[in-house]
Amino acid sequence: MNKINQLFANSQDQKLLSLYFCAGCPTLEGTADVILTMQRRGIAMIEVGIPFSDPLADGPVIQSAATQALKNGMNLKTLFAQLKAIKDQVEIPLVLMGYLNPILHYGIEAFCQSCVESGVSGAIIPDLPFKDYQEVVKPIADKYDLRIIMLITPETSEERIRFIDDNTDGFVYMVSSAAITGAQKNFDDAKQAYFRRINAMNLRNPRMIGFGISNKQTLEAAQQNAAGAIIGSKFVTLLNESKNADEALDKLFEALQS
C-alpha cells in the first residue's frame, strides 16, 4: 500500500502533523538530516520542496528558501540522489512539492519513476491544470503508484471539490485561504466557516489543512477540522535561523503550545 494511504488508514483518530521544508536550504547536503530528524521527532508526513525561481503560491519566507537552495546548487537530480541514499531509513510518507516547470524539464515519466526509486509517495504540483493532470500525469503516476495531491481553497466551488475528490487519491490539501503561504496568528470567522462547509461535504479523501499554521490556535483549528495540519513557513523560518533541525523542531513545538 502507498505510504500516504497507509498513514491515513492507520491514523483515523489522530491529529497528524506534516511539515514542509525546501530541499537544499539552509545547506545543500542537509536535506537527508532534516528528513531523518523530523521522522525521529514524530512528524507524520514530510513535504519536501523542490526549489524554483518563480514560486507563485509562496510567500517571502519560502521564496527566500528556494532562492538560497538554488544558489546552493539544489536541483531535482541532486534531490533524488539524496533521497535515494536514505530510502531504506525513511518509514513515513515523503511528498515532493514543486512547480510544473522543473518537473516538465525532468520529464513526467522520469519524475514519477525517480520518485518511486527514491521512496517518494506523492507529489503536489500547485500549477498543474486539472485537465493536464487527468489526461497526461495521472495515467503515468498511477503506473508508479504515486499520489498526485490536489489543492482546494475557499474559492473552489463545491462541484470542483467533489470532482477533485472523485478523481484523486491520498488526501486533499485544503488551503486555509486563497493568499500566498505564510504564518498567521488565527483563523477568522470566514476561514472557520470554510472549514465547516468542507466538513459537511463528507468527502471520500482525508483532508490536511495548510497555509498560515504557526501557533496553538491555528494548529488546533486545523486538526479539529481535518485529519491534520501542514506547517511550512514557520518551520522554514526556524530552520533557517538555527541551521539545526532538532533546534528548529524544539522551537516549533514550543510555539505550537502558545
- CB 113, CB 146: distance < 8 Å: no
- SS (HEC) of 218-240: HHHHHHHCCCEEEECHHHHHHHH
Q: From the candidates 13, 29, 33, 58, which is the catalytic residue?
A: 58
For residue 212 the three cell numbers come to 498560515
Active-site annotation holder among 13, 29, 33, 47: 47
Question: Distance (Å, rounded) from C-alpha 145 to C-alpha 182?
Answer: 31
Amino acid residing at 231: I
Concerning whether 47 is annotated as a catalytic residue, the answer is yes
What angle is formed at CA 212 by the lines to CA 131 and CA 146, rounded to 5 degrees? 35
| Coil/strand/helix, residue 149 | strand
Known catalytic residues are 47, 58
